Structure 1
Amino acid sequence: MATLNSCTEPPTSNHATNLVPLDKLKEACTSKRAWVSVDGVIYDLTAFIPQHPGGQDFILFAAGKDVTKIFECYHGHRQHQILQKYKIGVLSGQDMPSFLPSDDFYSTLKKRVDDHFGSLRIDRKHSLASYVRYFFTVVCIWSLYWLQWSLPSNSLWMFYLLSIVHGALLAQYCVSAVHDGSHGAIGHNPALWKLLVIGHDFFNGCSGTLWTYQHVMSHHIYPNVDGFDADIETSEVEFRRIKESQKYFPFYRLQSIYSPFLYVLLGSAVRIEDLIHYFQRRRGPFKVNPFTPFQKVIFWGGKLFFFLTRIALPVFWGAPILRVISAFLLADFFFSIVLAVIFQATHVVDTAVFPRVNPTTGNIEVDWARLQVETAQDYSHDQPLTSFLSGSLNYQVVHHLFPAIAQEHLPGVARIVRQTAKEFGVKYEIKDSLWSAIGGHIGLLRMLGTPPSSH
């Protein structure tokens, strides 16, 4: 990998008219050759990797891909000017859909949000409350772990109560620390972001690297777009039907009843899928770039650490194996159901749009910012307890439009988004409570559980 001292001069613009085949772009996906496409122009960022203020990881995730919308979300005009120094050609070919050019809705919204933070003179990434929350969540996770396995053998009710609380705390770590770290939405230190995401590997046994591909690279750019949003990726036969493109089976009639109970298996399913995606080197529609040596250590070390702490160590300390397994399952069930409720109630709902790719053009015939608003729903605005428990993901629309803003500031930005959406005729769905939002998810399951012939 290049270093600051050995960094070569960026490519000059006289190569800007070169046509770069799509296959060549895809091959440039390592630290030795990292190319990206933005608005159909290819940039060689290999020499820029060690200089990137956001750290090397984000460039290595993006390498070999079209990152137009990701770049727009996280960068402004100044960064776009810097990018031009690394231009090497024009992309020939396309394997990901593009969107209609942004209209005045998005530009107006971004200016108003910039003015909002400018007038308050605050850093949109700064949140002391978030730092405190991360610290106490980690302290509580480990304290409860040691307390649980130190209890007398006859304190069963307290033992299993601690399992439930432990699972809920692990979910809290995900919706706050892991989520914020994956977006670089807290502070300006890439080492902190990496540390927060690594917690997903060691606390939950789930790959933070693969989560970033799924969440940041796929879902945030193509929410609810069949074939491109990894969150709604399905196989030929699934336990539930969440989009019209899925084949219908008669057992879906009852999916609104049985599906919520199966959500307790989310954690286990993700850990198994991690192994599949790791070896297949794909996450949803995206190619997973070669893991760096550090990422490999974290991936396998996290799996091993998770097994040792959740299963092996308690058995070594003399706890009965059935008690260990039951405690693990109870904690994991609550961990899974909390995350499932929070995430399913924002996008997989009956009020959200599920855009289609135009089969002729291969593109999505809507503005990207409008898509972010209309494919999600918010809930429980101005209810601090719900915002705290959900990591402010009840402001889902706001977060999708501005993923690099710390969760503490999302409620203030929501007022701006609401007013601007109203002015431009963009449908912005806000439910009054979490229960109403969950009802939207159940409503979708009921609708798509109905035989297609009876619509």
Structure 2
Amino acid sequence: MISETSEHSSAPSTEKFQKVIFEKFTKDGFQKDVNDRVDRYFESNNIPKTATRGMVFKTIWILVGWVATYTLIISGLVNPVVMFFLALAHGFFSAMIGLNIAHDAIHGAYTKNQKLNERLGLTFNFMGANDYVWKISHNVVHHTYTNIPEHDGDIDQPPILRLQPNQDLWWIHRFQHIYAYFLYSLATFSWVFVKDYKKFFQHQLGGHYRKTFPRKEIFRLFFYKALYYTIFLVVPLVVIDLAWYWIVFGFVASHLIEGFTVAVIFMLAHIIEGTSFPEPKEDGKIGMPWADLQMHTTANFAIKNKLVNYLFGGLNFQIEHHLFPKICHVHYPKIAEIVKETAKDHDLPYVEHETFFGAVASHTRFLKQFGTTPKGVLIPRVVNV
């Protein structure tokens, strides 16, 4: 439900970060209306909001593919060329685990059984990432402060990438539409070796402030990182009869596929033509309820492409995901029309790009514009589908 997410609509204020204040949603507003309409859809059709049998089957074959590719790589049964392509396939299966299984589970959307959600969420750690950091940086920070400069960590990238209007403009940014996609490929590699450690021990994550770091989570961070390094680096180096640098090359290549897949899917949902970057006023007020913000900052793409929807965890229905993160992604195509109609009734934007490659082209144009637009100047909200 939207109201469950919007509980995090403000963070403890600090000297550096201003508290964001959303307007309260009203009985006749979009947030209440879309909640009620979607609830009625599930109730009238007697459908649970969690995973279906089809989702369970998808989970099984993704995990089987992930285990099988790894097993074949270390088995010694295939030649180095086949081993390399298996490494690429393993990277893609890893991305699918993150986008389909772990993402829903960590949101609590896979099943009503929270312990099972937690166990399925552990698959995120076997991608080399950290589920605790993700819960904060994604579930709380990104979903609450979507596209709000200095509050949404997803648009606060290394300064060589300029993804929001308040960022300083460098000369090299004029080329970011060219080099950005290579940097995206490094996304999960960064998670594994740098980003998770850095974010874990930061008190301020976007618009969210933490005073302490749970000891249990500190242990889990280092335990699962060590386990990941052992399984995916140490074991291959020991058992595969190849020079060490070929093993490392395969590991890196796997992450390039994984990182590119994950990063591009998320970028197409927010850093794209038609989305906005709202800023709070001096008193911290954003001037709209939380759900209205999501309609201004989030976009769908390729919603008629069943393959894109199936492989990438329904995240091409990003609007529906942001409004209803606790609903399993297999239901998004059915509730999308409800959300779209409700947005229209409340005179709110519903940004969508018709095809996957059309969305990629739109994102590329957006990067190119941000690479030359002076600091503080907003890009017009033009949607090219």
Please report the TM-score for the alignment, with normalisation by the length of structure 1.
Answer: 0.76
Larger fraction in strand: 1
Contact 2:20 2:286 in 1 (8 A): yes
Q: Does 1:148 align with 2:73?
A: yes
Q: CA deviation at 1:297?
A: 3.3
Give the whole-Å Cα distance in 2 for the aligned partners of 1:252 and 1:71: 34
Matches within 5 A, 1:28-427: 70=5, 96-103=19-26, 104-152=29-77, 155-201=79-125, 203-234=126-157, 238-271=159-192, 272-288=194-210, 290-319=212-241, 320-359=243-282, 361-427=283-349
Q: CA deviation at 1:417?
A: 0.6
Give the whole-Å Cα distance in 2 for the aligned partners of 1:185 and 1:289: 28
Give the whole-Å Cα distance in 2 for the aligned partners of 1:112 and 1:98: 26
Contact 1:352 1:377 in 2 (8 A): yes
Letter in 2 for 1:251: I
Q: Does 1:433 align with 2:355?
A: yes
Any gaps of 5 or more consecutive residues in structure 1? 1-66, 74-90
Contact 1:198 1:298 in 2 (8 A): no
Identical positions, percent: 26
How many residues are matched? 367
SS in 1 for 2:287: strand
Give the whole-Å Cα distance in 2 for the aligned partners of 1:344 and 1:451: 19
Letter in 1 for 2:347: G
Any gaps of 5 or more consecutive residues in structure 2? 380-385
Contact 1:164 1:331 in 2 (8 A): yes
Letter in 2 for 1:241: R
Contact 1:124 1:406 in 2 (8 A): yes
Counterparts in 2 of 1:185 and 1:92: CA distance versus 1, 3 Å: closer
SS in 1 for 2:110: coil
Contact 1:351 1:440 in 2 (8 A): no
Contact 1:357 1:364 in 2 (8 A): yes
Give the whole-Å Cα distance in 1 for the aligned partners of 2:160 and 2:13: 36
Give the whole-Å Cα distance in 2 for the aligned partners of 1:269 and 1:93: 29
Give the whole-Å Cα distance in 2 for the aligned partners of 1:451 and 1:433: 26
Contact 1:250 1:451 in 2 (8 A): no
Question: Could you list the per-position Cα deviations for residues 111-161 of structure 1 after superposition, in whole angstroms to 9, with x for gaps in the alignment?
Answer: 1111111110111124222222222222221111011122457x2321111
Paired position in structure 1 for 2:382: none
Counterparts in 2 of 1:401 and 1:318: CA distance versus 1, 3 Å: closer
Give the whole-Å Cα distance in 1 for the aligned partners of 2:63 and 2:286: 42
Contact 1:224 1:375 in 2 (8 A): yes
Letter in 1 for 2:317: Y
Question: Could you list the per-position Cα deviations for residues 147-184 of structure 1 after superposition, in whole angstroms to 9, with x for gaps in the alignment?
Answer: 1122457x232111101110000000000111101110
Question: Could you list the per-position Cα deviations for residues 304-338 of structure 1 after superposition, in whole angstroms to 9, with x for gaps in the alignment?
Answer: 11111111111211432012101101100000000
Give the whole-Å Cα distance in 2 for the aligned partners of 1:318 and 1:164: 17
Q: CA deviation at 1:382?
A: 2.8
Paired position in structure 1 for 2:368: 446
Paired position in structure 2 for 1:30: none
Letter in 1 for 2:361: G
Give the whole-Å Cα distance in 2 for the aligned partners of 1:92 and 1:408: 35
Give the whole-Å Cα distance in 2 for the aligned partners of 1:92 and 1:230: 16
Contact 1:99 1:368 in 2 (8 A): yes
Question: Could you list the per-position Cα deviations for residues 238-287 of structure 1 after superposition, in whole angstroms to 9, with x for gaps in the alignment?
Answer: 11111110111111111101111221111122230211222334433323
Counterparts in 2 of 1:282 and 1:70: CA distance versus 1, 3 Å: same
Structure number with the bigger relative contact order (C-alpha 8 A, sep ≥ 6) is: 2
SS in 1 for 2:321: helix
SS in 2 for 1:366: coil
Counterparts in 2 of 1:160 and 1:223: CA distance versus 1, 3 Å: same
Paired position in structure 2 for 1:29: none
Structure having the higher Rg? 1
Give the whole-Å Cα distance in 2 for the aligned partners of 1:71 and 1:365: 15
Contact 2:74 2:240 in 1 (8 A): no
Counterparts in 2 of 1:395 and 1:318: CA distance versus 1, 3 Å: closer
Q: How much is the aligned-residue C-alpha RMSD, in angstroms?
A: 2.3
Contact 1:255 1:449 in 2 (8 A): yes
